[in-house]
Amino acid sequence: MDWRKRLALVPVYRPHAHPPDLIPPNWRDQIFARALFDPDPVAKIDRSLRAYIHTVSSGLADLDAVVWDIQTVDQQDVPPGILEPELGPKLRQQGFDAAAIVMLGGVGAGTSAGFWVRFVMVEGVGVWAMEFMHSLTGFGDLYPFGGNMGAFDEMACACGTHPSAYTKTAIGWLDSGAVVHHTAASAEYPLHAVGLVQPPPFGRTTAIRVQSGAQIPYLMIEARLHCDQFDAHIPGEGVIVYRVQTSDPLGHAQNQTAPVVLLTPAPLSVGQTFVADGGLKVQVVSALVDGFLVHVTSPDVAVPDVTELSEAIAAHTITAAGLVPKFTGVSGPHSWVFHQSPAAGTLVSVGSTVTMALRSGPLP
């Protein structure tokens, strides 16, 4: 995805608003600053929309913004697409990728409707960023149906923190190679914090994915630090574990279930262990300069009995148990399993391989 985006910021004034819209004398300059350079008055650190997008994407994304002339809309409630008939075609023709109605009302105005988004001046960079990210990436909200990632993901809180490794990977701001798949019985992983510049340095990984085959849900493990002006606002430093419960590639909820559920509301610190449903253990071994060293231990599972099952059914059964199927012999539509190793009932680690010898023809 080309992530150099051109945004139109359109101030909207309501002449009979309740409470009234009070236009500041330098309103357009204020909007420009919020978009492109907005230093904290004390720390002098840039909190602008551009700084946020550039930082959390590790420089993969950038934006340019143009503040449009003030538009007047004489109604209390202003939907985000109200200026589409008048300005939409003109903005697209001039190369804009998205447009925002910027208002003077109270908080709670943030919303997205395709090309157009809406927010107000008193809302922070998190709201401005979330709505534009909805518009430009199609990524969904992570808070529906009890989603509780909170400040550990911008798309759950709109609070201007870094997205999680799950979200960054989905929208192309983190290479999938930075997320390692845990398949061993036991392994240690040096985690490079999500809020630091990506990709991770040699020998590090940004996140761990624990998944049986292609099954949903699956677990993600990542490190978070108070490492910049944005992740300074996460609840704490440490390792978080969360469960992804949707197969939608852009995080939209399915089956009235939260897309992502945080399993460690307080991040794990050094020496702490989290045990997931099913027995997977995540232990924080030590702190690193850029994150944490974690030890992940898989639970043992019993090998299912797949003798005399068809090749397809045997493969599905083994995969559903969190194991890896491997076949020898003649493969075909009439093939069935006449021998398996390890034997049915043997306790093995999740991710272990089950080898099955096939025969073809009628069952004995």
pLDDT by residue (tens digit) across 231-263? 999 999 999 999 999 999 999 999 999 999 999
Single-letter residue type at 74: D
Task: Determine the pLDDT at residue 108.
Answer: 80
Task: Determine the pLDDT at residue 189.
Answer: 98
pLDDT at 352 over 90: no
pLDDT by residue (tens digit) across 115-130? 999 999 999 999 999 9
pLDDT at 143 over 80: yes
pLDDT by residue (tens digit) across 149-193? 999 999 999 999 999 999 999 999 999 999 999 987 789 999 999
d(Cα 199, Cα 107) in Å, to the nearest integer?
A: 35
pLDDT at 301 over 90: no
Residue 242 lies in domain:
145-297
Both 268 and 308 in one domain: the answer is no
Both 258 and 155 in one domain: the answer is yes
Peptide bond into 200 cis (omega under 30): no
Both 288 and 160 in one domain: the answer is yes
Complete DSSP assignment for 149-177: -GGG-HHHH-SSPPPPHHHHHHTTSS-GG
Both 282 and 153 in one domain: the answer is yes
Q: How many domains does the chain have?
A: 3
Both 238 and 204 in one domain: the answer is yes
Domain end among 246, 264, 297:
297
Both 149 and 118 in one domain: the answer is no
- Length of the chain measured in residues: 364
Work out the mean pLDDT of the chain and round it to a whole number. Answer: 95
Top-confidence residue, 141 or 302: 141
Both 263 and 348 in one domain: the answer is no
d(Cα 185, Cα 299) in Å, to the nearest integer?
A: 8
Both 269 and 319 in one domain: the answer is no
Both 293 and 164 in one domain: the answer is yes
- Unique residue bearing structure tokens 């898989």: 298
* The model's pTM: 0.86
| Token digits of residue 3 | 């992530």
pLDDT at 3 over 90: no
Task: Determine the pLDDT at residue 321.
Answer: 83
Task: Determine the pLDDT at residue 2.
Answer: 64
Q: Are strands 4-13 and 98-103 parallel, antiparallel or unpaired?
A: parallel
Task: Determine the pLDDT at residue 213.
Answer: 66
d(Cα 48, Cα 318) in Å, to the nearest integer?
A: 51
| Token digits of residue 212 | 């049986």
Both 202 and 107 in one domain: the answer is no
Both 291 and 309 in one domain: the answer is no
Domain end among 297, 318, 347:
297
Q: Are strands 260-262 and 273-275 parallel, antiparallel or unpaired?
A: unpaired
d(Cα 212, Cα 320) in Å, to the nearest integer?
A: 7
Average pLDDT (41-62) is 96
d(Cα 164, Cα 176) in Å, to the nearest integer?
A: 13
Per DSSP, helices labelled H in 61-181 are 84-93, 125-137, 154-157, 165-170
| Token digits of residue 6 | 């051109």
Both 23 and 130 in one domain: the answer is yes
Average pLDDT (267-272) is 98
Look up the CATH number of the domain holding residue 320. 3.30.10.20
Domain end among 82, 116, 138:
138
Instruction: Compute how many other C-beta atoms are within 10 angstroms of the C-beta atom of residue 339.
Output: 13
Measured in whole angstroms, the distance separating CA 251 from the mean position of its chain's CA atoms is 7
Express as a percent the part of the chain with pLDDT over 70: 99
